Amino acid sequence: MPEYLLGIDIGGTSVKIGLFNLEGFLLDKRSIITDRSQNGSHILRDIAVFIKKNWLLSSIAGIGLGVPGPVKNNIVETCVNLGWGITDPKTELNKYFNYEDIAIKVTNDASAAALGEYAAGAAKGYSNVVLLTLGTGIGGGVIIDGRLHEGVDGISGEFGHIVVDKKHAFLCNCGKRGCLETVASATGIARLAKYNLDNTDLSSKLRNMDSFSAKTVFDLAKEKDEVAVLTIDEAADNLAAMLGSITLTIDPDLFVLAGGVSLAGDYLLQSVKRHYPDYIRPFDVKAGIVLATLGSDAGIYGAMQLVK
Amino acid sequence: MPEYLLGIDIGGTSVKIGLFNLEGFLLDKRSIITDRSQNGSHILRDIAVFIKKNWLLSSIAGIGLGVPGPVKNNIVETCVNLGWGITDPKTELNKYFNYEDIAIKVTNDASAAALGEYAAGAAKGYSNVVLLTLGTGIGGGVIIDGRLHEGVDGISGEFGHIVVDKKHAFLCNCGKRGCLETVASATGIARLAKYNLDNTDLSSKLRNMDSFSAKTVFDLAKEKDEVAVLTIDEAADNLAAMLGSITLTIDPDLFVLAGGVSLAGDYLLQSVKRHYPDYIRPFDVKAGIVLATLGSDAGIYGAMQLVK
């Protein structure tokens, strides 16, 4: 008898698997290594084998998957990080399940995180929510009127690649210049700090370091290190510009900041909130801006929501 | 017996009133002067009087209104152009109608235009549509999954006030600098041309004119006038940046360019299309970009759709 739901978050390093009851309560969490060899062709097989080894297929009511790439109608368009081209996880998994025809749905990982925070985290009770995942890169998910909005081609919420910074115009992985990701992701913040070390005379402990992470920049900013303060201020300004742009485009009631960079916590939040009014009109109603609360579990919660 | 629907577009100069049959076919168009005296307090009364004089109230099944300001749940938040503060047109009109309780719905004028083009114009057959009205200012409307998306506070689609141009950073009416409106509306294009006359040595017939309109700049650009070509290229680049940003935010299938500036036609369209790929990733699916087809009737068509 079906009594469980699985929420699975496929990342470039590991696959997180959450076991939920039918009410969406998290019962157990596991993870397996993401085998990216041979264009990631073993990943879905590994997941199927793990599931069959641990649970009776007949006890699984549905499986939701979050993947790091654009998804449209449950078909993955591409996943550079996994090596995948167009992929149909539902059909492939069901093949390994001997066509038991388990309900399987798929979405983008940041969309899953948005759905997770909306259903069980920081955005509970709101109905128009935009989540930004601030990690190595920047992604996002959009909830409109209580429903996940993937967009016509599955690229809704790709905030990391919106051009916001023509001043530095750093080259992005995507080939464009000045994408939000180049100045506000973890790698972007480190890059921006290096630029400020090279192009200002401001004092900084960063000058004595061969390399450093975004976390170090945040830590030093909290200690009022001049280059670090400037850098975080610029990163927060670019994030605020993005939130202003989203506000005047779809007017959500809540923004959720998630991902590794959001662990900088209140310092990041207050910096973004300080700049946000510069990018909307004085009489516009400001959307709330909060930090995610589910941490790295947001993806499995949201993936599970797809089949709940 | 109710046999008509009215679609009404309240502008700063005139109020357009469309008479439609219940199938949404336009039967007649009228207009009255917008009386902006005394904070526009006569406008709704004038509309009610005009309706009662021309049609039997019992023949009107519903009235849709488009107004130049943010609207939330049929309540107008503010209309600077009309002099209105918070206004409830439904209650007020029904007062003049002796509480006949006619169905009355209200939305923003650009949202109405989007709905009009979606139901009966350039966006017929699409389901995720973003319309930009390029006039004296810039507004917009957003259709998501076949429904008008006004946003939580009615400010969805306010593309004119998204900051895109930190290079010139012209002061906007809204108090911010670098809004799309400052470089891509009719007034913005004229302003940008003046800036280029003052800050380049490029040749231009505009140098012999005391003042000129955006239309003149377009006309000269088509004749390869150097300043005009540069100006339209910059305006189109900013519009394209906005379309890229919207694409990566909500991923629509069609953009519709409407309003006076869109009358520049194919020259504008091709300029925007040329720059659009610079603002999305190479593998992203490009949304269509087309010109509006209903012209100044889009608003009455869309307002009517609210009550159809």
B30-60 pLDDT, tens digit each: 999 999 999 999 999 999 999 999 999 999 9
Could you tell me the pLDDT band of residue B285, with boundaries at 50, 70 and 90? confident
Could you tell me the sign of the dihedral formed by the alpha carbons of A275, A244, A137, A8, in that order? Answer: positive
Mark B121-150 as b/e (b = at least 16 C-beta within 10 Å): bbbeebebbbbbbbbbbbbbbbbbeeebbb
Contact B61, B4 (CB under 8 A): yes
Can you give the pLDDT at residue A93?
A: 95
| Among the partner residues B150, B161, B251, nearest to A281 by beta-carbon distance | B161
- What the block records as the tokens of A281 is 């009109």
Half-sphere exposure of B194 (CA within 13 A, CB side): 15
- What the block records as the tokens of A154 is 């599955």
Could you tell me the pLDDT band of residue A255, with boundaries at 50, 70 and 90? very high
Q: Among A278, A206, A202, A267, which Cα is nearest to A238's?
A: A278
Please state, rounded to an integer, the average pLDDT across all residues of chain B: 95
> How many angstroms separate the CA atoms of A159 and B269, rounded?
25
Q: What is the pLDDT of residues B61-103, one digit of tens each?
A: 999 999 999 999 999 998 988 999 999 999 999 999 987 779 9
Type of residue at B3: E
- What the block records as the tokens of A265 is 């916590």
List CB contacts (< 8 A) between A280 and chain B.
Answer: 161
B136–chain A Cβ distance below 8 A for any pair: no
Q: What is the pLDDT of residues B116-147, one digit of tens each?
A: 999 999 999 999 999 999 998 999 999 999 99
In angstroms and rounded to an integer, the radius of gyration of the C-alpha atoms of chain B is 20
DSSP string, chain B: ---EEEEEEE-SSEEEEEEEETT--EEEEEEEE---HHHHTTHHHHHHHHHHHHS-GGGEEEEEEEESS-EETTEE--BTTTTB-SB-HHHHHHHHTTT---EEEEEEHHHHHHHHHHHHSTTTT-SSEEEEEESSSEEEEEEETTEE---TTS-TT-GGGSB--TTT-PBPTTS-BSBTHHHHSHHHHHHHHHHHHHH-----GGGG-S---HHHHHHHHHTT-HHHHHHHHHHHHHHHHHHHHHHHHH--SEEEEESGGGGGTHHHHHHHHHHGGGGS-TTSPPPEEEE-SSGGGHHHHHHHHTT-
Q: Is A249's CB within 8 Å of B280's CB?
A: no
Q: Is A103 helix (H, G, I), strand (E, B) or coil?
A: strand
B202–chain A Cβ distance below 8 A for any pair: no
Can you give the pLDDT at residue B61?
A: 95
Can you give the pLDDT at residue B132?
A: 97
Could you tell me the pLDDT band of residue A80, with boundaries at 50, 70 and 90? confident
Can you give the pLDDT at residue B101?
A: 79
Can you give the pLDDT at residue A209?
A: 96
Burial class (CB in 10 A: 0-12, 13-18, 19+), A13: exposed
B278 to chain A, minimum CA–CA distance in Å? Answer: 7
Higher pLDDT, A81 or B152: B152
A68 to chain B, minimum CA–CA distance in Å? Answer: 15
Examine the pLDDT at B283 and tell me if it is beyond 90: no
Examine the pLDDT at A79 and tell me if it is beyond 80: yes
**E-assigned strands of A97-153?**
103-108, 129-134, 138-144, 147-148
Q: Count of CB contacts below 8 A, A vs B?
A: 128
Could you tell me the sign of the dihedral formed by the alpha carbons of A110, A112, A117, A123, in that order? Answer: positive
Q: Among B186, B192, B221, B187, which Cα is nearest to B204's?
A: B221
Can you give the pLDDT at residue B87?
A: 96
Can you give the pLDDT at residue A98?
A: 82
Can you give the pLDDT at residue B121?
A: 97
Can you give the pLDDT at residue A285?
A: 87
DSSP state of A205: G
Could you tell me the pLDDT band of residue B272, with boundaries at 50, 70 and 90? very high
Contacts of A78 (CB under 8 A, 6+ apart): A69, A70, A84, A85, A86, B283
Q: What is the pLDDT of residues A87-105, one digit of tens each?
A: 999 999 999 998 777 999 9
Q: Is A268 helix (H, G, I), strand (E, B) or coil?
A: helix
For A64-68, A173-177, B105-109, B270-274, which range has the lowest pLDDT when averaged over its residues? A173-177
List CB contacts (< 8 A) between B152 and chain A.
Answer: 128, 251-253, 285, 287
β partners of residue B134: B138
**Sheet with strand B26-33: strands edge to edge:** B26-33, B14-21, B4-10, B60-67, B103-108
| Average pLDDT rounded to a whole number, residues A171-183 | 94
Please state, rounded to an integer, the average pLDDT across all residues of chain A: 95
Q: Is A82 helix (H, G, I), strand (E, B) or coil?
A: coil
Can you give the pLDDT at residue B94?
A: 92
Q: Is B161's CB within 8 Å of A248's CB?
A: yes
Higher pLDDT, B191 or A81: B191
- What the block records as the tokens of A87 is 């992929």
CB atoms inside a 10 Å sphere around CB B84: 22
**A75, A165, A250: which to substitute to probe chain B, counting the most B Cβ within 10 Å?**
A250
List CB contacts (< 8 A) between B234 and chain A.
Answer: none
Q: Is A287's CB within 8 Å of B152's CB?
A: yes
Could you tell me the pLDDT band of residue B1, with boundaries at 50, 70 and 90? confident
B149–chain A Cβ distance below 8 A for any pair: yes
Burial class (CB in 10 A: 0-12, 13-18, 19+), B289: buried
Q: Is B282's CB within 8 Å of A175's CB?
A: yes
Could you tell me the pLDDT band of residue B282, with boundaries at 50, 70 and 90? confident
Report phi then psi at B273, rounded to 5. -60, -35
Where helices occur in A11-128 by DSSP H, the ranges are: 37-40, 43-54, 89-96, 109-120
